[in-house]
Amino acid sequence: MNKWGNRMKRWITHQMDLPADVTMDLPRITMIGQIHIYIENHKGLLSFSDQELRLLLKQGQLLIKGKSFVIKTILPEEILLEGKIDQVIYLDKA
């Protein structure tokens, strides 16, 4: 999408008071302490181990590092991860 399309989306989001994750196709991340992380609106699971989870986003990737990871729920665009979360890192696609 070009810069004018992005500006239009931001303007509509602001004018209509809509959540940015809905109009901008951004992930919604809900974290409870260091033990649960729930990610909505991702584009797929790239890799998983008991110490790392990597998700594809519309723009870039999300990398979660920690210990004792267990996927509690996985749906096409939602995932619930449990364990000890040490880092949540956004990786730009650049």
Residues of the chain with pLDDT under 70: 1-3, 5-6, 8-24, 94
Domain 25-91 maps to which CATH number in 1.10.3720.10, 2.60.40.2000, 3.60.15.10, 2.40.40.20? 2.60.40.2000
User: In this predicted structure, what is the pLDDT of residue 25?
Assistant: 77
Residue that has been written with the tokens 């999408």 in this structure: 1
User: In this predicted structure, what is the pLDDT of residue 28?
Assistant: 94
User: In this predicted structure, what is the pLDDT of residue 7?
Assistant: 76
Q: State how far the Cα of 93 lies from the Cα of 36, in Å rounded to an integer.
A: 26
C-alpha dihedral sign at 34, 44, 23, 11: positive
Write out pLDDT tens, residues 45-57: 999 999 999 999 9
